Structure 1
Amino acid sequence: MDTLTVIWIVVGALVVVAIIGAIWVGSALASMRRLSASVDERWRALASTLERRRAVAAPLLATAAEPQREQADRAFSALEGALLPGSKAEAEAEVQRVLRPLVHAAASQPLGSQAADARTALAALDDEAQARRRDYNTGARELNAKGRRFPTSLWANAAAVPRQFFEVDQTGAVAEPPRIQF
């Protein structure tokens, strides 16, 4: 073989490798963007679910004492104002702490009353929030794992990786055992 043929073969091989590399990097970048958008959507759904709690808890707050309503109003305002998962989780823990006595008091209300209905609606909303929290944390875990792998690790900061997890401190719920009345 002459030298010119060898040069053309090497140049052709380099072009093919460059095209394959560009396709690989492009697909990894597109995958990272899709996953990041999915995590953002999951976060919006979780935040929306948490912020609906104020409307659902309104019948319970209507029967509460003024200091308790003010405390709940501050907790709900902090929840709505929190933007990041860590701060929203702290605000969510505070909302749960504030609502716990009201929910316990609603347990003694007869079925069909507004307080009993609000308690049932809050329980359903808590279940939905728990499912959305798991969904968001799963997406954040996948995004964080993908952000640590090559080649996505090269632009992980542009996709806001790593993402914080949404973990509510449940020590207050565990510190006091449930009361059972017969």
Structure 2
Amino acid sequence: MGAMELLDVILIAAGAFVVLGLAAGIWFVTAMTGMRRLSATVDERWDALAATLERRRTVAAPLLATAPGPQQQQAAQAFASLDAASQPQSKAEAEAEVQRVLRPLVQAAGSQPLGSDAAEARTALAALDDEAQARRRDYNTGARELNAKGRRYPSSMWASTFGVPREFFEVDQAGAVAEPPRIQF
């Protein structure tokens, strides 16, 4: 093999290493960018879910205005817990408590005439519950995708940077309905 052939082989090998290095670099950067984008999407979904849950206080105000003092205090404590919660599990627990506290008030509002503030608040709370369920599903879907992507290489290298794994938002409905509603007028 002549010097020229050896130089050609070295240049081809070096070129192949450069191309492989660039391909690997692009692969890593693409994975990191995808992880960053998905993490931002999950964060946006979480913010939308939290905002929806925190609107419940405003929507329930007409029901709370007619509630007896003890129920108002329970509701105030439940809403304070909901406001203070920042993680999915603690927010879900606070949401279950808010639902438990509001359930008797919503049931009592069912006997109110149509067009009354209580009946309108009941309707608005039902719509807000539907919206919260949709946002919860959106958030949980995004968290599931992010967690799955965070387990795959090369995304797993940056998973902790983007807060992976993410908790799911799951309200324990069993505890909220285990006790029969108490209606107090």
Indicate whether the TM-score tops 0.5.
yes
| 1:89-111 deviation digits (Å, cap 9, x = unpaired) | 00000000000010111011111
C-alpha spacing 1:97/1:174, structure 2 compared with 1 (3 Å): closer
Q: Which residue of the partner structure matches residue 94 of structure 1?
A: 97
Partner of 1:80: 83
| TM-aligned CA deviation for residue 175 of structure 1 | 3.4
1:28, 1:155 → 2: CA distance?
9
Question: 2-side partners of 1:177 and 1:97: how far apart?
Answer: 10
1:110 maps to amino acid: P
| Unmatched segments (≥5 aa) in structure 1 | none
Would the aligned equivalents of 2:97 and 2:176 in 1 still touch at CA under 8 Å?
Answer: no
Task: Tell me how far apart the structure 1 counterparts of residues 92 and 15 of structure 2 sit (CA, whole Å).
Answer: 55
Q: How far apart are 1:173 and its partner, in Å?
A: 4.6
Pick from 106, 116, 119: which aligns with 1:116? 119
Aligned to 1:126: 129
1:68 matched to 2:38: no
Rounded Cα–Cα distance in structure 2 between residues aligned with 1:122 and 1:92:
13
Q: How does 1:128-147 map to 2 (within 5 A)?
A: 128-147=131-150
Match of 1:51 in 2: 54
RMSD: 1.3
SS across alignment from 1:61? helix
TM-score by length of 1: 0.94
- TM-aligned CA deviation for residue 68 of structure 1: 0.6
Counterpart AA for 1:24? W
* CA–CA separation in structure 2 for the residues paired with 1:154 and 1:136: 23
Where in structure 1 do 4 or more consecutive aligned residues deviate above 4 Å?
A: none
Corresponding residue for residue 175 of structure 2: 172
C-alpha distance in 2 between matches for 1:93 and 1:23: 45
Quote the Cα distance in structure 2 between the aligned partners of 1:13 and 1:32.
28
Secondary structure (helix, strand or coil) at the match of 1:55 reads helix
Report sequence identity in percent.
72
User: How many positions carry a matched residue from both structures?
Assistant: 178
Flag the structure with larger Rg. 2
Indicate the residue corresponding to 2:31 in structure 1: 28
Are positions 1:15 and 2:26 aligned together? no
Query: Which amino acid letter does the alignment assign opposite residue 83 of structure 2?
Result: E
